[in-house]
Amino acid sequence: MAAVELRGFGWRHAGRKAWAVRGVDLRVESGERVLLLGPSGAGKSTLLAALAGLLPDDSGEQEGTVEIDGLDPRKARERVAIVFQDPETQIVMARAGDDVAFGLENRGVPAAEIWPRVDAALERVGFGYGRDRSTSALSGGELQRLALAGALALRPDLLLLDEPTANLDPDGAALVRAALATAVDRDTTVVLVEHRIAEALPLVDRVVVLSPDGVRADGPPATVFAAHGDELAAAGVWVPGRPIAPRRATAAPGGELLVADRLALPPRLAATDLVVREGEALAVLGPNGVGKSTLALMLGGLLRPGSGRVRASRALAGDDADRPPHKWRAAALTRRIGSVFQDPEHQFVTSSVYDELALGPRRIGLADVASTVDGLLDRLRLAHLARANPYTLSGGEARRLSVATALATAPRLLVLDEPTFGQDRRTWRELVDLLAGLRDDGHAVVAVTHDADFVAALADRTVRLCR
């Protein structure tokens, strides 16, 4: 078992003026299960990275101390395992069994012990396939359970979980939570980060609320929410039992902007028909692995269809109405359709938040780039990060930046893949309000999402993809 202690802990990323987190005094006893909460940018992922020994000295400045049973985390790495938000960032092998075995081999586990431990870990998380299953054939939920199996096979004293269900469909998320409930040894210390917490509460016995200035609240969940619920909700924490009012459209949808006819890319997407209209928010739903992200890329003109076609109206395409979006010039596509990828970092190409936002407007020759960028920085609470490197942002901040880059050229159509993941209650509501305002101004919004609350708050219509 492992006890965790932070005394006056703070971390500032290299090149940043502001601290990612500061003044954290926290002790987690061996075997405790702690839910770490806080608004986007409060430093939750930074704290997990510190506990995992993943903050090298040359990547920033630390103050205070972090210890695992009295050891610097970098000297206790063999006692710690971490599962990240995106399982694809930690799946490294082509076969499922090899991926679970990878960490055991790196830690020098005797060869005779490796495969029994691999099989036991796969069984504990309910992985439905054998060792030989190709990792490229797994859905998001299956990948996340495989990543969890890889962590559990290490038999860690401390298990760190950074929003492990954020990118999963409801069924996949339920399977991962069930695996956590049944597969993690009771004497393993667990620190879990989640924004949407109602489903996570049965997994923990303590809640710690983090702010950029230290620990804001600490105690049993019911006690913390009873004493601080209103204050925490106002600060952006997803406190259970506090719904957000929906944003209904102010007018009926207008004409067709984009039509997909039997659009397919085997085996990633089966034949799909879809109509996108002016002044409408359309939510695309379905389980992981059904092809929602593939569909988003094709609607956004970023991927050539395998079969079928995407047809744009003259209102959207202008003189290119006789050509599909994937054949438009880059500048024309940027003006007409804004795309937000599932992984924000896949679309960042500059070294600062400001330059990332300015890139699109500069490419299309927008007259007043500065006012456009400044307005988006303020609207999406990124102004204090204008000079920061996009790759040092928190998950929620990176998502807001990716949305902002899509908005910067004022496109008629927005195609967003999981636009709300990693958002706290406050920034989630602001994103919904922003997208609702665009819809009411006549823009079209297509959102691929697993977020049922987002669908209830914004969607005028839904389309569900099936296997």
Does pLDDT of 390 surpass 80? yes
What pLDDT band is residue 303 in, cutting at 50, 70 and 90? Answer: very high
Residues 347 and 263 in one domain: yes
Whether 240 maps to a domain, the answer reads: no
- Note the pLDDT tens digit of each residue in 270-281: 999 999 999 999
Write out 380-419 in H/E/C secondary structure: CCCHHHCCCCHHHCCHHHHHHHHHHHHHCCCCCEEEEECC
My answer on whether 215 and 260 are in the same domain is no
Residues 38 and 126 in one domain: yes
**Structural domain includes residue 444:** yes
Decide if 241 is inside a domain: no
Residue 405 has a CB neighbour count (10 Å cut-off) of 26
Distances (CA, A) of 233 to 224, 225, 228, 390, 394: 12, 9, 8, 27, 20
Asked if residue 381 belongs to a domain, the reply is yes
Distance CA 65, CA 16 (A): 20
Whether residues 364 and 450 share a domain: the answer is: yes
**Six token digits for residue 222:** 């019911």
Q: Are residues 293 and 225 in the same domain?
A: no
- Does residue 115 belong to any structural domain of this protein? yes
Beta bridge mates, 12: 61
Query: What is the per-residue pLDDT for 40?
Result: 82
Question: Which of 453, 376, 441 lies closest to 412, judged by CA?
Answer: 441
With b for 16 or more beta-carbon neighbours within 10 A and e for fewer, the 433-448 pattern comes to ebbbebbeeebbbbbb
Whichever domain contains 274, its CATH number is 3.40.50.300
Residue 254 reports pLDDT greater than 90: yes
Distance, CA of 41 to CA of 292 (rounded, Å): 28
pLDDT value at 317 more than 80: yes
**What does residue 242 show for φ and ψ, rounded to 5 degrees?**
-125, 80
Domain around 373: 256-464
The contacts of residue 90 (CB under 8 Å, 6+ apart) are: 83, 84, 147, 150
Categorize the per-residue pLDDT at 429 as very low, low, confident or very high, splitting at 50, 70 and 90: very high
Pairwise CA distance, residues 332 & 334, whole Å: 5
pLDDT digits (tens, 9 = 90+) for 165-207: 877 788 878 888 888 888 888 889 999 998 778 889 999 999 9
Q: Other CB atoms closer than 10 Å to residue 18's CB: what's the count?
A: 12
Evaluate whether residue 246 is within a structural domain.
Answer: no
Task: Tell me: do 337 and 405 sit in the same domain.
Answer: yes
Phi, psi of 84 (to 5 degrees): -90, 170
Residues 182 and 49 in one domain: yes
- Is 80 exceeded by the pLDDT of residue 31? yes
- Count of the separate structural domains present in the chain: 2
Give a yes or no: residue 250 inside a domain. no
pLDDT at 1 over 70: no
Beta carbons within 10 angstroms of residue 229's beta carbon = 16
E strand map for 221-373: 256-265, 269-277, 281-285, 307-312, 337-340
**Is 260 domain-assigned?**
yes
Q: Hey, which residues does 7 pair with through a beta bridge?
A: 65
Among positive and negative, which fits the CA dihedral 37, 43, 47, 52? positive
Shared domain for 86 and 199, answered yes or no, is yes
Q: Which of 235, 265, 298 is the last residue of a domain?
A: 235
Which of 205, 235, 265 is the endpoint of a domain? Answer: 235
326 pLDDT tier (thresholds 50, 70, 90): very high
pLDDT tens figures, 439-451 = 999 999 999 999 9
Each residue of 408-418: pLDDT tens digit? 999 999 999 99
